[in-house]
Amino acid sequence: MTTTPAIVAQAVSKRYRRFAHRNQLRTLKSALLTGSVLADLTPEETFTALEDVSFEVGRGSTFAVIGENGSGKSTLLKLVAGITRPTQGSLVVDGRVSALIELGAGFHPEISGRENIAINAMMLGLSRKELALRYDAIVDFAELRDFIDAPVKTYSSGMYMRLGFAVAIHVDPDVLLIDEVLAVGDEAFTRKCLDKISEFRRRGKTILLVTHSLGLVEKMCDDVLWLNHGRTCGRGEPKRVVDEYLSYVAGGEETLLRSRSAADAARAEATPASEAPDDAGAPGAYRPGRWGSREVEIQKVRLLDARDRERHVFVPGETLTLSLSVHAPRPVSDFVFGIGLFSADGTCVYGTNTDLEDWAPRRLQGDAEVRLSLEGLRLVEGTYLVDLAAHKRDGTPYDYLRGLHSFRVKSRVKDIGIYRPLHHWSFTGGAEVEPPPERPELEIEQAEGGAELPRQRG
């Protein structure tokens, strides 16, 4: 992967007309005046297929888009392919694009495979000279040497697919877009396509893949975007996003909405009045959620200060204790408790679990409390989201609470970053420095106990 990304999407939205044949005059007028069919339509007359989707695809990486049917995956692909344009936002693709959206679109049934190759290749942007160089490779890949002069209408659907795939892949794009085409065709053909795609990856080409095959995603992709009803629902490392997606599909929408509202509450708390809420355009979106088998259930989570009082705002240096009330209806012997701290933009600040720290599980049954104390919270001001989990040692989740709890760190010192090491300034020699004025650090009403002043004086 080199420096400039191959695809950059910034806050891309796509709206369609909801009623295809009403308001025709109005849409024609707006199309002529503004170049958009939507300009004069009210929101009720439009349908939002994609809303505020941002992502980058690094050159040479393989990027997957997953999501249920109707989530906007294909719309996104068409936007990247340049077939349609975003209603809002910008989408920049660097390099020649070939889209395997529909194989053999534009084949004419009455004419031969040979002639169709020529026309299809030209439609996809090859010049005659380029085609002449690649013609044999296309025919060989499609394994249609014997049938190449027969009209395409006599081809079986497998032959048709092979020919379509062969032409599209030999356009030799810098960016290859694939829409679920691997789902069709027989085993051998699928195998062959996958091999070709692997070869593409080895040659450092960029691939954007829309698929329902989650196994493929985990195996081949570097990065995953999960779309839900046209919005970004998850983004990042394939294993994690696929897990989230699966648990969402299993748990249904209800879980997601619940976690959404929790997250929104956390965000509202996180945002001081002066700052505009800004979750647009954040790459690598970290979406709160909850999943797992619930063989061990995290029933209650409390964030406690040094005096065991429940709090949500801390100052740097305080002790923060996470208390988990867990319940195992049946005895469990394989269990791990873990926590993760994330900054508001989804960056992992810290994560650990009992297994990593070699606590050997013996038995868990009924109600229990698990506590983790973070002594001397060394974080700069900001909102932090907490992941809490009970899972098996192999990672299979019992109960995973992602970002459903949060706390805020407040500080007078507006230092930047995430981590605030214990530090102090000192000055010697010719340096004359006025020490900072004495100011009470702790103005948060609850935050009086056990605080270590974050400001060190030299």
Partner 1 sequence: MIAAIRSLLRHWPLVESLVERELKARYRGSVLGFLWSFVNPLLLLLTYTLVFTVILPNRQPDIQPFFLFLFCGILPWTWFQASLSESSSVLIASSNLIKKVLFPAEVLPTVCVFANLAHFLLGLPILLLFLAWQGKLAWTAVLLPLPLLVQLVLTLGLSLLLSALTVHFRDIQNILNHVLHLWFFATPVIYSYAAIAEGTPLRRALRLNPMTHVIVTYQQMLFHGNVDHWRGLFLALLVGLVAFAAGAFLFDRLRDTLPEEV
Told to check if 115 binds partner 1 by CB under 8 A, we report yes
Taking the least distance from each CB to partner 1, the nearer of 43 and 106 is: 106
Rounded to the nearest 10°, the torsion over CA 84, 87, 89, 90 is 20
Taking the least distance from each CB to partner 1, the nearer of 29 and 423 is: 29
- Site map 117..146 versus partner 1, x via CB under 8 A: -xx--xxxx-xx------------------
Residue 88 one-letter amino acid: Q
Q: State in angstroms the smallest separation of the CB of 27 from partner 1.
A: 7
The answer to whether the beta carbons of residues 50 and 88 sit under 8 Å apart is no
* Assigned token pair, 430: 């010719």
End-to-end CA distance of the chain: 45
The residue whose two tokens read 């910034």 is 10
Told to check if 76 binds partner 1 by CB under 8 A, we report no
- Site map 255..294 versus partner 1, x via CB under 8 A: ----------------------------------------
Told to check if 166 binds partner 1 by CB under 8 A, we report no
The answer to whether the beta carbons of residues 338 and 396 sit under 8 Å apart is no
What is the C-alpha to C-alpha distance for residues 76 and 303, in angstroms, rounded to an integer? 41
Q: Which residues, 22 to 51, sit near partner 1 by CB under 8 A?
A: 24, 27-28, 31-32, 35-37
Taking the least distance from each CB to partner 1, the nearer of 151 and 283 is: 151
List the one residue from 81, 167, 388, 451 that touches partner 1 (CB under 8 A): 81
Q: State in angstroms the smallest separation of the CB of 35 from partner 1.
A: 6
Q: State in angstroms the smallest separation of the CB of 368 from partner 1.
A: 57
What is the C-alpha to C-alpha distance for residues 366 and 330, in angstroms, rounded to an integer? 7
Q: State in angstroms the smallest separation of the CB of 145 from partner 1.
A: 22
What is the C-alpha to C-alpha distance for residues 156 and 390, in angstroms, rounded to an integer? 52
What is the C-alpha to C-alpha distance for residues 100 and 177, in angstroms, rounded to an integer? 6
Which stretches within 231-281 are classed as H helix? 238-270
Told to check if 393 binds partner 1 by CB under 8 A, we report no
Told to check if 106 binds partner 1 by CB under 8 A, we report yes
Task: Name the residue among 77, 153, 61 with its Cα closest to residue 115.
Answer: 153
Told to check if 78 binds partner 1 by CB under 8 A, we report yes
Which stretches within 203-335 are classed as H helix? 214-220, 238-270
Binding positions for partner 1, rule: CB under 8 A:
16-17, 20, 24, 27-28, 31-32, 35-37, 78, 81-85, 97, 99, 101-102, 105-106, 108, 110-111, 115, 118-119, 122-125, 127-128, 151
